[in-house]
Structure 1
């Protein structure tokens, strides 16, 4: 009798679990990727024309300023050196991120319905995450360039040849594209139960949180990517600058001043950008009531606005060679000649 009861209990448990699994599969199979996703603009739509004009102004400023720096470096052979080439690719990345972000935002601000197609959302996720990640990897490569220049000046030209420069830039991009592509494949496989993105643009976490199934794999891989890019690259940059600082402390005041002049803009950019991105990564993990929604929006768009504007201003104006060439391009030859004589 005891064996019979055990058999009946096992059979009931098996039948129940089978029904539960089949029900779960049916439930999951009824969900797929929605064709349209809704973005959350909230109360900013009350002054949408003001924000539309502001977005357009920022976009034009970014295109003109970054385009000017890139053109100056491409046109003038005297600027085709490793440091300036890295600056040019940093500006190219800023243009790339702006093209992914601003047109979508501008169109949605002027639209009555704030929607984006699922494919468009995935494209924006890829673009935004590659832009942010490439920003950090290029800054890490630039730190290595400054390390070789300051700590090994006699071997600099032999180590940092143009071929090496383009290999480093290619490696920085491929490293990011490989990791982000895997991350995006893990996201695309997820069925979605909802269609409302809790932001004014698409990012990976906003899509993943709409999933109907367990997202542990996505969360773990997301942490690994954060560690591999947003933690590892700044650490490598910091190591380079510790070595530079050590050499500067043992050098003359003139050498120290020149080294700090070229390195300070880099440190400012990296510190601000990494702090902003880490804030954006951590903020969605907290309740939405921690900060007002408008402030959350403002904080979330800084990486796409401040960094692309900051690069031409810091590098294009701080580095004398680029500043002179840009002034000459815009016809300010008298100002350029005056600064050249100073």
Structure 2
């Protein structure tokens, strides 16, 4: 393996040499990636083109779709390349960039889902004040914070990791993650570990608690409302709840499975990566199926295209 002093090559050792099984995985991931791109791009176009969907909840959904494209594109193309290539390497710079975009995907998704839960809370618990609380300016401000804080923290994390001298060059994963790179270092890394834990606490645990608190309050208000109001609240919250649970379970399952499962390495590798493969694919489908406004908008756009 060629290595340079400034940008050494790293080996992703999870891959076997190209063979029939690799080509099956390549085909599967290729279809997942293409469908993910189509689903999210269609959702983005629908929300942008239909002025009736220019509402806070749909704005957050548009950003969730963009975020899904970032996560998928950070992993799928490189995984597909490595499945059919004899050299499954990646430069250190490429590895750090992959880590950065994967972490931006994961942290921003959680933050956006927290904003969507807050929007549902205000809509259901304070309906008369909704338009004075969730203003266009506040939506823009919240989205700015959602991107600025994770990107700033993750940029600093990548900077710290990039300064570590490496003594080893093999990562036993399908793709790069920050902990794997840190473990390749020759030196002790308490600052990097502490900073990584602070990012998890800030960007994962806090949004999770905010979503939980929002739905506890929604549930309390709904239990005192009429049956009709309860059905309306459930219909309004169901897509977000399904997406949030899907993303949380996928992420948790991937982390736990990757560390503790005794199954075959192929199952371990696939489950460690499925939080990137499946949520970006399923989220636009869930909202497309469960949200009447989006379904109507898709039908309207299709009819215009056919009749044009």
Q: TM-score, normalised by structure 1?
A: 0.83
Picking from 244, 261, 276, the partner of 1:304 is 276
1:209 to partner: Cα distance: 0.9
Alignment deviations for residues 238-266 of structure 1 (CA, whole Å, 9 cap, x no partner) = 00111100110011111111111121222
SS in 2 for 1:238: helix
Give the structure 2 partner of residue 74 of structure 1.
48
Alignment deviations for residues 3-47 of structure 1 (CA, whole Å, 9 cap, x no partner) = xxxxxxxxxxxxxxxxxxxxxxxxxxxx96652111123448431
8 A contact 1:34–1:192 mirrored in 2: no
Give the structure 2 partner of residue 173 of structure 1.
147
SS in 2 for 1:170: helix
Over 3 Å counting, the alpha-carbon distance change for 1:283 and 1:52 in structure 2 is closer
Give the structure 2 partner of residue 10 of structure 1.
none
CA distance in 2, matches of 1:44, 1:237: 44
CA distance in 2, matches of 1:298, 1:285: 13
Give the structure 2 partner of residue 41 of structure 1.
14
Question: Is there any run of 5+ residues in structure 2 with no aligned partner, and where?
Answer: none
Tell whether 2:293 aligns with 1:321. yes
Q: TM-score, normalised by structure 2?
A: 0.92
8 A contact 1:230–1:274 mirrored in 2: no
1:112 to partner: Cα distance: 1.2
Give the structure 1 partner of residue 235 of structure 2.
261
1:313 to partner: Cα distance: 1.1
Tell whether 2:182 aligns with 1:226. no
Alignment deviations for residues 253-280 of structure 1 (CA, whole Å, 9 cap, x no partner) = 1111111112122222222322332344
Give the structure 1 partner of residue 75 of structure 2.
101
Give the structure 2 partner of residue 190 of structure 1.
164
8 A contact 2:258–2:271 mirrored in 1: no
Picking from 60, 64, 84, the partner of 1:110 is 84
Over 3 Å counting, the alpha-carbon distance change for 1:301 and 1:76 in structure 2 is same
SS in 2 for 1:116: strand
Question: Is there any run of 5+ residues in structure 1 with no aligned partner, and where?
Answer: 1-30, 335-342
Give the structure 2 partner of residue 245 of structure 1.
219
Give the structure 2 partner of residue 8 of structure 1.
none
Alignment deviations for residues 101-137 of structure 1 (CA, whole Å, 9 cap, x no partner) = 1111122222111111111111101000010010100
Aligned residues: 302
1:236 to partner: Cα distance: 0.8
8 A contact 1:40–1:198 mirrored in 2: yes
SS in 2 for 1:38: strand
CA distance in 2, matches of 1:44, 1:142: 44
Larger radius of gyration: 1
Larger mean CA deviation between 45-54 and 308-317 belongs to: 45-54
